[in-house]
Amino acid sequence: MAAESTSNGERLKQGAPGGGGFFQTAIGRFSARNWALIFLFIMIVIFSLGSSGFFDIVNFQNIIHLSTGAFLLAAAELLVVITGGIDLSIGYVYGLSSVLGAKVMQILYAGGAGGAGSMPVWQVIALGCLAALSVSILPGLANGVLVTRFRVPPFIATMGMWGICNGITLFLADGFMPVMGAPSEINAIGNSYFLYIDPSKSISFFAKPSYITQANIRSVLRLVPNSLFLSLAVLLVLGFVLGRTRFGKHTYAIGGSMDAAIRSGINVNRHLVMIYVIASFVSGVAGLFNLFQTGIGNYTPSGANYELMAVAAVVIGGASLTGGKGRILGTAVGVLVLAVLENGLQIIGVSAFYRYIGVGVLLTIAVIIDRAFPDLF
């Protein structure tokens, strides 16, 4: 019976395009494994040849800067996907954190900047961050408890949390209004660069030279946006945790085979709760940074599909939705593929709407390649 069952499974798999001769060679296997990276390079070459504005350090930094949220959300999603689950709530935890942080800062700051008895600005910002970050843990905790103690499928638990977070965010945002009134200092943190070089005069760190105004800021060479540090820090820490620690090994083990993980003595329930909490927290950090970048608390618009875009990046980066597979580096490449696609299409003047189609096509290709070479990754 068992043999027959596998042969049926095999027969179904036959439908996938088989790896022909080329893909048996070393180069073939390499290109199949790293197709996303190769695709990224090809895109960069095409966009660079197709327009003058694309291949430019300012544009590249722009891409990185605008993808901060995507990097963090995708990293959060990867953790959950490796365990074989899925987290659909992260996009709305992102919005919740952004709006809550803005709301707290708005209320504390309302006394008037520098007015008598008002709080120092740094304290306002710190309390706002603290509130947003501590609340952003809660959805993850609830997800984890629901998935482990109540045996609710991750899809349903996190989809319910999507609704709950979205509702609370819209309540805080007073209907569909971005939350204004946070101190403007946060913009300086979110949008400044590590290095400012004025070719003729000076170099300064973290803040633009005082004689430069917003109007002539373009004459200064700005390098390494602060957002890059945040993305790198999160990606490196999570990459280290996944690749080098016991916690990471257990994460892959749970995704590979839940039963084997339980039998080998891993406290699977506690581990899963931690995974959902970390995912939720990282999404909260992403939402908070969105507040720092834009200066206003943005709720997640319906149909934005941040969480699905994160899943897309994770899958393009080589992870499998059945769990046990996926790396931070691949996920970062996945995010870059989507970001470069969007940015490049805009710059060469193709309607940006093609990117939705592009994402769909890429995602399907990713899975078909994954199916065709199950042992590659």
Partner 1 sequence: MQTETAEKQGTLPELLGRNWIALFIVLLVVFFSVVARSFFSFDTAQLIFFNGTEVFLLAIAELFVIITGGIDLSVGFVMGFATVVSSKLMVACVALGFSPFWSILAASVVTLLIGLVPGLVNGWLVACLRVPAFIATFSMLGVTHGISELLTQGIPTKNLPALAGDIGNGSFFYVAPGGAISFFSRPQVARGQTVLAIIPNMVIFAFLFIFLFAFILGKMKFGRHLYAIGGNIDAAIRSGINVKRDLIKAYVISSLFASLAGLSYVMKYITGKPDAGANMLLEAIAAVVIGGASMAGGSGTVGRTILGALVIAILETGLRIIGMQTFMTYILVGVILILAVIIDQVFPNRNR
The residues binding partner 1 (CB under 8 A) are 4-5, 8-9, 11-13, 15-17, 86, 146, 150-153, 155-157, 159-164, 166-171, 175, 302-303, 305, 308, 311-312, 315, 321-322, 351, 353-361, 363-364, 366-368, 371
How far CA 61 is from CA of 10, 170, 191, in Å, comes to 46, 32, 11
3-state secondary structure the chain: CHHHHHHHHHHHHCCCCCCCCHHHCHHHHHHHHCHHHHHHHHHHHHHHHHCCCCCCHHHHHHHHHHCHHHHHHHHHHHHHHHCCCCCCCHHHHHHHHHHHHHHHHHHHHCCCCCCCCCCCHHHHHHHHHHHHHHHHHHHHHHHHHHHHCCCCCHHHHHHHHHHHHHHHHHHHCCCCCCECCCCCHHHHHHHCEEEEECCCCCEEECCCCCCCCCCCHHHCEEEEEHHHHHHHHHHHHHHHHHHHCHHHHHHHHHHHCHHHHHHCCCCHHHHHHHHHHHHHHHHHHHHHHHHHHHCCECCCCCCCCHHHHHHHHHHHCCCCCCCCCCCHHHHHHHHHHHHHHHHHHHHCCCCCCHHHHHHHHHHHHHHHHHHHCCCCC
Measured CA to CA, the distance from residue 257 to residue 324 in angstroms comes to 8
Burial class (CB in 10 A: 0-12, 13-18, 19+), 120: exposed
d(CA 313, CA 46): 21
Residue given tokens 């803040």 in the structure block: 207
Q: What's the closest the beta carbon of residue 254 comes to partner 1, in angstroms?
A: 19
Query: For partner 1, which is the closer residue by CB, 115 or 163?
Result: 163
Instruction: Pick between residue 120 and residue 175 the one whose CB is nearest to partner 1.
Output: 175
Kindly state the smallest distance separating residue 86's Cβ from partner 1, in Å: 8
CB of 157 to partner 1, least distance (A): 6
Q: How far is the CB of 276 from partner 1 (least distance, A)?
A: 14
Considering the complex, state which of residue 238 and residue 313 has its C-beta at the smaller distance from partner 1: 313
Q: How far is the CB of 175 from partner 1 (least distance, A)?
A: 6
CB of 19 to partner 1, least distance (A): 14
In whole angstroms, the minimum distance from the beta carbon of 109 to partner 1 comes to: 24
**Is 145 or 197 the residue whose CB approaches partner 1 more closely?**
145
Q: Which is nearer to partner 1, 235 or 310 (CB)?
A: 310
Tell me the C-alpha distance between 122 and 186, whole Å.
9
Choice between 56 and 174, CB closer to partner 1? 174
Instruction: Give the position of tokens 């940074």.
Output: 289
Which is nearer to partner 1, 13 or 244 (by Cβ)?
13
Q: Nearest approach, Cβ of 363 to partner 1 (angstroms)? A: 5
Cβ distance to partner 1 smaller for residue 271 or 355: 355
Residue whose CB is less far from partner 1, 245 or 322: 322
Closest residue by Cα to residue 148 from 85, 94, 93: 85
Q: In angstroms, what is the minimal distance from the CB of 9 to partner 1?
A: 7
Nearer to partner 1, 124 or 363 (CB): 363
Minimum Å gap between C-beta 130 and partner 1 is: 24
